[in-house]
Amino acid sequence: MQTIPFGTAFGYLFVLTLLTAFNWGLEAFKWKQLTFHLQPLSFKAAYAAILTGQAVSFSSINRVGESIGKSMLLSDGNRLKGVVLSFVASASQLLVTLLVGLIAVIWMYPSLHLQLQAQLQLSELVLSAFYGALFFLVGLFITCYIAIPFFANKLSKIPFFYRYAYLLASIQTLPKHLLLQLVLVSGARYLVFLLQYLLIFKLCGVCIDAPTLMALTAILFLILAIIPTLTLAELGIRGKVSLILFGMYSANKMGILAAAGGIWLLNLIIPACLGGLILLRLQYFRKRS
């Protein structure tokens, strides 16, 4: 395990922190674009909404509470509509995660297949079923994402959903170019995540070549997106899966766990704490009013 000088380590941490801020800035841009016709927000307000979303999602499964948190800064009449729009933003990020994860699985297939069989004692049939289900899931999700306005329009005509038609109206008119823009920005966020992993593994002394590391990271994201977890419990699962994947190519287990914990802290815990402060401030001023 190589030792990195203090000055270099500090530089790595500084860049990682900047990348975290830039990452949530991209998500704020997505939220600003989505809510433009519902309730125009400044970039600052959109960024604050993203942080509050992280705070609320802290105790929800797979961070689904993020949609509620982001909408809390909207006006009273727009919050439920904002929750619906937020799911579109989350869907664009999930689409990129699934698609890039599938590409990584295909690229790593020869070595990954044998390693998984050896480490997890999985049969050929089970692995084949997993790969087939993954292909189907990605294809289905891409189709559903492209057709979001179409499905919203059809749902609004079903009697059971009549009472919720006003909520579906916010996504019935989403233009195709906006859906594409959301995917492109989500792709940019994904590149930031990959760059963060490259830097933090370097910082923690885990020596894996960059293409393999990025492919394994993409597979890690894919697994974390599929497995239901709470944010607090995610650290243990992230660490376990990281050891299985990255441990195939590096014996530095402590470095792998430190990298997984560092990313969890930078990208989830610190933003959630900042969002919590914004929520406390918001509640304070509402009580004063």
Contact between 88 and 148 under an 8 Å Cβ cutoff? The reply is: yes
Is the sign of the CA dihedral 116, 118, 123, 128 positive or negative?
Answer: positive
> What was the pLDDT predicted at 224?
86
| pLDDT for position 14 | 93
Q: Using an 8 Å Cβ cutoff, are 204 and 255 in contact?
A: yes
pLDDT of 202-225, one tens digit each? 999 898 999 999 999 999 999 888
Percent of the chain at pLDDT above 90?
Answer: 38
Comparing CA positions, the residue from 99, 213, 197 lying closest to residue 145 is 99
Residue 289, helix vs strand vs coil: coil
112 vs 157, residue with greater confidence? 157
Determine the residue type at 139: G
Mean pLDDT over 132-137 rounds to 86
The answer to whether residue 78 scores a pLDDT higher than 80 is yes
Given a contact cutoff of 8 angstroms between Cβ atoms, the answer to whether 263 and 206 are in contact is no
Tell me the three state secondary structure of residue 248.
Answer: coil
Positive or negative torsion for Cα 115, 116, 121, 126: negative
Query: Rounded distance, CA 84 to CA 18, Å?
Result: 30
Both tokens of residue 284? 């304070």
The residue that leads in pLDDT, 149 or 6, is: 149
Per-domain residue ranges of the chain: 6-280
- Tens digits of per-residue pLDDT, 110-131? 777 666 666 666 666 777 787 7
Burial of 116 (C-beta count, 10 Å sphere; 0-12/13-18/19+): middle
